[in-house]
Structure 1
Amino acid sequence: MMSPDIAKKLRHLKFFTVCHPMYNEAMKVLQRAAEASSIGGEDTAAALFGPSGSGKTRLCNDLMHQFSQAHKGKKPDGSYFIKPVLYCRVPSEATVKALTNRLLETMNVQMGRQSQEYLEYQLFQTLKSCDTKLLVLDELPHLLRGLTDKAVKSAGDWLKNLIDLFDGTLLITGEPDSESYIDERACVGDRFPYRAYLKPFSISSAEDRNDFERLIRAFAIEIDCQMNLTKAPCLVSEHEILALYALTNGNIRRLARLLYEACKLALERGDGTFKIDDFSLAAKQANFLSRLTKADVFTASLKDLQNIVFNNDNKRS
């Protein structure tokens, strides 16, 4: 059983955010969309595109925390519930009707079997009564994949109406290829002028490498400050930078998972040390998709790591 002290330290690390340049630029785009909608601007919907593990969910969470928390309020006709932020993850193979129902259920509105027209009316009324200012539809393109042309048109019309009638900021997220689904219909694509992009880190150029190194350094400083480990490896040496990249392929979710698992091993050992062996063992215990080699990167030579990393990065470029 994990001790409360260890659990507290690991929980802190799990929610630690590094505001790297790519994150900062994406956040600025989403904040501009929120500012535009707050003054009644038209076509202020925002979209965030990026592959799995690039930080979309973390960015959405950080944006949502900039809004007020849900609370009870009061209107002349009685008390009501204020929900400034509404988050909904769109299930795969979703339909417009199923998604509309899910949104209503998220606001504790149970409608049962009703027509789509009535469900939409109730959704818009509930968003208004709850004073919702940010609506996040995570993986919205699930709604548009694999549908007939007629169903895609219907989904597009629903989305267009949602943007036009919702008095707040609509934010959708999706994989990079999902941008084409939004742009298939000009009347939908034109309503998303604010678009932010995230991608895996690269070290193919000096600037990219510096960004990745700053990311690792930020995590290393946080670990040093929070974990109370008296001895730790230098994670920003050339060897360790290349090893971390070779294992994670620049994917920030995989990097965060590796650091979490390695810290957990070090803390549970209880001798106050943090070793490279902790990283090797963590890499064996967790599945790291798209790793650049099956070898133990933390015991590989610097020359081997250079060959593994730079040959792959050149191919990707």
Structure 2
Amino acid sequence: MTLLLDKPTSRVAPAGKAPYWTMRRRDTLAGWLMVAPQLAGIVVFVLVPLGLVVWYSLHEWNVLAGTFNFVGAENYKAMASDARLGPVLRATGLFSVGLVVLNLSLALFLAVLLNQKLRGTVVFRTLFFSPVVVTLVAWTIVWGFLLQDNGGVNAFLNLFGIDGPNWLRSGGTAMVSVIVVQLFKNVGLNMVLFLAALQGVPAELYEAARIDGASAWARFRRVTVPLISPTILLTMILTIVGSLQVFAQIAVLTQGGPGTSTTVLVYYLYQQAFQFHHFGYGATLSLVLFLIVLVLTAVQWRMRRRWVFHEA
């Protein structure tokens, strides 16, 4: 009697030849499939637009006339001889430095206060964080009315006999006004991030420092700041990048004036591209902005090993 054996359901690799789909290759394929959506987003929304901006910067594109002419490095030469670019970069630097210093300092100060076991801290957390969820344009329009010559801020100052200036039309106060408006808009976000970091600092470290005789300032400088330094790095990068991309506040409050005192790089880029229809030159300026953000972020990331906890 002959026994009929079923055919094997799996193919066995020939002797001496390893199968193609090894465990390592399957894991590699699974990894690429998982990151594929993110990579596709980076290619479509970052690399392709960046390449197009570089391409546009080599052309003079007049939408009204319907012309698109290759000009090579002419836009870069025009940028090098642009007399307005220097004041624009200075205004951008002034806005960024002022906003970053005030935002991080005030946010950390508020977080330290709200981290204390005091009554009413929940109310104050909500009060300081609520501007973050308000629409940016609505927030800016309200502040535009408050900062007018006969607005709410000057009306409040008149109660104390102080004649306030026209905040948004004076070169000495326009930039300060824009910085303050942006400061109160976003300080709550950094405050919440700092507050979360402070609540993660072990209480035993404070107690040990107190037993050793360390003062409150010494405990803050030697214990608090090192342990929340990763959060400081995160908020610093986010705030610097955000300050370099400010547009709505300038467009609504000052339109870059008076003169060019509040004309930051993003608003100047907008003027060249969409008001004066110099799209090629606008693309060139956008590359300058991209390089500034890239360099500042890279420098901060490189310097983190010198002061960020756990990075040394």
Greater radius of gyration (CA): 2
In terms of fraction of residues, the more strand-rich structure is 1
TM-score range, shorter chain: under 0.3
In terms of fraction of residues, the more helix-rich structure is 2
Normalised TM-score (structure 1): 0.23
Relative contact order, higher structure (CA 8 A, sep 6+):
2
Normalised TM-score (structure 2): 0.23
